[in-house]
């Protein structure tokens, strides 16, 4: 049996560092596209240098939309345990770590990079008792879980590497051990010998190895795919490159559209331009006053006077005119095409790229959103499984031996329009169980069960009818307001009064 001392303790460290190095380029690229900082690609070196020298920027970033669209639909409605005690403990962990702010950031980063990590670390007192559990996001640019080659679902180890002033620090986490490493000042850390143990306690040289009885690693991997994810906007890279180039080139033609390039043709044997000063064409060679104005800005350097009843006499010129400039549609039409291509490639509804434009409604929206809604549902499954693991780990550290965690998501899509409620009404009328019809409308099962408690079929049908009628009335009142028949304030007042009356009636029926 091989002696344990013969195993290089830096082997996992260097493997993890190499994995981080190889994956970093793709993560950096994903961040650039999300932030809209990818430079335009020019075939002309001269033009590229000119724009770079003047720091010209005409960002028109659509690539972040596929990421934000998914993130906006990922809302946690609640997390519960097997009993009230576990649920209360989960709520405390959630509040202590401000996860209502932290989790949306984790989901957004997971969409931006394809991967995101949630660290879950217990905080102990001097006697080893766990006081609380800390949860916080770590970037895949500095953290990476390395999976077992034989069983890709098992974590072999986790590597975390970061800069600390002139030093590089690293931690290698396995199921029962944390190893701490550091380099010397200003070392690149590319070689194994660059790294040395980093004790947690300067008085204890062996404290660079920290044992624990967790039996698992405190790093939880949120990902869009397995074993490692792909950015939600990866398919937008190409269309975004085209949009960036089209937008920058379009902006380059705006000056010509406002100030067209003009020309004057002379006769072959006549080039008499004695009445025209050089300032009529170019102020660059003339001295300027303190205001930056040249001779041609004064209006006194030309004998040509424009105005009613004036005669413009051009001596020696045969013909004048101006060059045609590029039409905006030459650039705007391809931009719209690339946005549509981006929507298709990234499985993101087109109307989410242009919320101010013409919006589909009702069944048309649901048909367009169906693939996107399915993608959001897949993210809920993947992220929900990881979040359950993280909270189960946290509760075990807090003394709950076998916690049962349930993640409740807000629906990725709910029906809230007249066509949708008419569909629900038709389903129930056709014999679909009322509970099933409401769940298919996008409402959570626990919500539906609470609504249906003590409600018979006749009452449910009446409520569905009321909602369908209210949605229909709201749509018609909105059309009337658009035509000017009624004001928006009157529409709001009418609907608010109707809703208040319905709520009062419902409350009276429940009390009766």
**pLDDT over 60 (residue 56):** no
Quick: pLDDT tens for 150-194: 999 999 999 999 999 999 999 999 999 999 999 999 899 999 999
What pLDDT digit, counting tens, does each position of 277-297 carry? 444 444 444 455 555 554 445
Six-digit token pair at 6? 């013969």
pLDDT at 53 (0 to 100): 57
Least confident segment among 127-141, 222-236, 487-501: 487-501
What residue spans define the domains of the chain? 416-512
Tell me the pTM.
0.73
As beta bridge partners, residue 220 has 118
Percent above pLDDT 90 for the chain: 47
What is the chain's length?
A: 512
Our CA angle for 298, 303, 307, nearest 5°, is 85
- Token reading at 331: 């650039």
**Residues whose CB is less than 8 angstroms from the CB of residue 501 and which lie 6 or more positions away in sequence, other chains included:** none
Q: Is pLDDT at 46 greater than 70 in this prediction?
A: no
Q: Is the pLDDT of residue 132 over 90?
A: yes
pLDDT by residue (tens digit) across 185-234?
Answer: 989 999 999 999 999 998 999 999 999 989 999 999 999 999 999 999 99
The whole-chain average pLDDT of the chain stands at: 81
Q: Which has the closest alpha carbon to 147: 85, 88, 229, 80?
A: 229
Reported as a pLDDT band with limits 50, 70 and 90, residue 434 is: confident
Question: Which CA distances in Å does 428 have to 425, 452, 458?
Answer: 5, 14, 11
pLDDT of 57 higher than 90: no
What is the average per-residue pLDDT within 4-25? 86
Q: Is the pLDDT of residue 338 over 80?
A: yes
């Amino acid at each position: 049996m091989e002696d344990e001392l013969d195993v290089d303790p830096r082997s996992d460290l260097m493997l993890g560092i190499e994995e981080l190095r190889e994956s970093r380029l793709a993560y950096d690229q994903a961040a650039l596209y999300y932030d809209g900082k990818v430079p335009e690609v020019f075939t002309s070196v001269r033009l590229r240098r000119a724009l770079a020298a003047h720091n010209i920027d005409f960002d028109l970033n659509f690539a972040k939309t596929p990421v934000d669209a998914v993130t906006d639909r990922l809302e946690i409605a609640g997390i519960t345990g097997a009993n009230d005690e576990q649920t209360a403990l989960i709520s405390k962990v959630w509040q202590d770590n401000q996860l209502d702010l932290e989790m949306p950031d984790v989901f957004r980063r997971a969409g931006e990079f394809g991967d995101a990590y949630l660290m879950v670390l217990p905080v102990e007192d001097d006697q080893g008792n766990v006081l609380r559990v800390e949860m916080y996001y770590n970037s895949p640019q500095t953290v990476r879980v390395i999976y077992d080659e034989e069983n890709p679902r098992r974590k072999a180890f986790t590597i975390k590497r970061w800069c600390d002033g002139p030093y590089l620090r690293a931690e290698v986490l396995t199921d029962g051990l944390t190893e701490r490493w550091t380099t010397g000042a200003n070392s690149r850390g590319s070689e194994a010998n660059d790294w040395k143990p980093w004790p947690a306690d300067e008085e204890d040289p062996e404290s660079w190895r920290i044992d624990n009885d967790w039996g698992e690693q405190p790093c939880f991997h949120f990902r869009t795919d397995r074993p490692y994810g792909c950015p939600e906007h990866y398919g937008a890279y190409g269309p975004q490159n085209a949009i960036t180039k089209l937008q920058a080139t379009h902006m380059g033609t705006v000056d010509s559209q406002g100030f067209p390039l003009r020309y004057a043709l002379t006769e072959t044997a006549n080039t008499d331009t004695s009445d025209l000063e050089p300032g009529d064409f170019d102020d660059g060679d003339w001295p300027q006053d303190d205001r930056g104005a040249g001779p041609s800005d004064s209006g006194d350097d030309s004998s040509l006077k424009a105005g009613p009843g004036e005669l413009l006499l051009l001596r020696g010129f045969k013909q004048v005119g101006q060059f045609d400039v590029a039409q905006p549609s030459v650039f705007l039409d391809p931009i719209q095409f690339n946005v549509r291509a981006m929507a298709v490639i990234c499985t993101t509804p087109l109307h989410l790229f242009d919320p101010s434009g013409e919006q589909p409604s009702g069944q048309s929206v649901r048909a367009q959103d169906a693939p996107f809604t399915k993608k959001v549902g897949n993210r809920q499954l993947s992220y929900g499984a990881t979040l359950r693991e993280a909270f189960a780990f946290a509760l075990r550290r807090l003394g709950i031996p076998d916690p049962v965690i349930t993640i409740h998501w807000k629906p990725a899509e709910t029906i809230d329009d007249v066509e949708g409620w008419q569909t629900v009404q038709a389903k129930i009328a056709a014999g679909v169980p009322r509970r099933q019809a409401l769940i298919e409308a996008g409402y959570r099962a626990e919500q539906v069960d609470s609504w249906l408690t003590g409600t018979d079929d006749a009452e449910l049908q009446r409520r569905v009818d009321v909602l369908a009628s209210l949605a229909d009335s709201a749509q018609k009142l909105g059309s009337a307001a658009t035509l000017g028949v009624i004001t928006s304030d009157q529409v709001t007042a009418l609907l608010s009064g109707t809703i208040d009356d319905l709520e009062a009636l419902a409350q009276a029926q429940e009390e009766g």
